[in-house]
Amino acid sequence: MRLRWIVGGVVALAVVAGAVILAILPLRQAPSASGAIEITASMAGFEPQLIRAKAGEPVRLTIINPDSPYHTDGGGWHQFRIEALGVDARVPPRARREVTLSSLAPGRYEFYCDVCCGGKDSPAMRGVVEVRG
Ligand SMILES: [Cu+2]
């Protein structure tokens, strides 16, 4: 009886560990596939700050963070957040992350970073995805 509990516990732990690994894996993906729009997020801000896209087509973005992990402001992390779309990608120092925005309606989608010095109050740490029909 006790053995069944232990076996059950080990199986449950393995399932949880597997789920955690699967959840973390996409965050660690390094190089961006060709064709993605590259956006650099550094202490100097976003570059570029204006992304143009066509409505109804997926927009593939690669957010590149060239900053050092030894940065005193937030440890060099940056964020790519679009509140209107529920997008919140955190990019560790010296890493990159893929973000795909699928079939957007025409409009202006503001993005910002709020995890580094200045955060979203800094005019450089924000930008716009402009989608036209
Ligand atoms: Cu930032």
Each of the 133 residues of the chain gets a pLDDT tens digit; together they read 666 665 666 556 555 454 544 454 444 333 445 589 999 999 999 999 999 999 999 999 999 999 999 988 789 999 999 999 999 999 999 999 999 999 899 999 999 999 998 889 999 999 999 999 9
Q: Give me ligand 1 centre to Cα 118, in Å.
A: 8
Task: Determine how β-strand 78-82 pairs with β-strand 87-91.
Answer: antiparallel
Q: Between the CA of residue 102 and those of 19, 34, 69, 133, what are the distances in Å?
A: 25, 17, 31, 14
pLDDT score recorded for residue 117: 82
Task: Tell how far the Cα of 46 is from the centroid of ligand 1, in angstroms.
Answer: 8
Same domain, 70 and 19: no
pLDDT at 32: 47
Domain count, the chain: 2
Q: What pLDDT, on a 0 to 100 scale, did the predictor assign at position 93?
A: 97
| Cα–ligand 1 centroid distance for 92 (angstroms) | 10
For residue 77, count other CB atoms closer than 10 A to its CB. 19
Please enumerate in sequence order all residues whose Cβ is within 8 A of that of 117, keeping only pairs 6 or more positions apart, or say none. Answer: 43, 73, 74
Distance between Cα 5 and ligand 1 center (Å): 47
Three-class SS of residue 128? Answer: strand
Please give the residue range of the domain that contains residue 39: 33-132
As a residue count, the chain comes to 133
Do 58 and 37 meet the contact criterion of CB atoms below 8 Å apart? no
Looking at the structure, do residues 20 and 48 belong to the same domain, yes or no?
A: no
pLDDT score recorded for residue 87: 98
What is the model's pTM? 0.73
Residue 43 is classified by DSSP as T
pLDDT at residue 27 in the model: 41
Are 2 and 19 within one domain? yes
